[in-house]
């Protein structure tokens, strides 16, 4: 089946997103 894969850079870009904060 499908898996949810995230690259490191993508995860890092969400670090300071409004939702994360």
| Whole-Å CA distances, 17 to 3, 5, 9 | 23, 19, 13
State the first-to-last Cα distance of the chain, in angstroms, to the nearest integer: 32
At its nearest, how many Å lie between other proteins and the CB of residue 18?
Answer: 9
At its nearest, how many Å lie between other proteins and the CB of residue 1?
Answer: 10
Backbone angles phi, psi at 8, to 5 degrees: -55, -45
Kindly write out the interface string for residues 1-21 of this chain, putting x where it contacts other proteins by CB under 8 A and - elsewhere: --xxxxxx-xxx-xx-x-xxx
Q: Which residues bind other proteins (CB under 8 A)?
A: 3-8, 10-12, 14-15, 17, 19-21
């Amino acid at each position: 089946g499908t898996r949810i894969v995230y690259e490191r850079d993508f995860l890092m870009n969400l670090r300071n997103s409004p939702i994360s904060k």
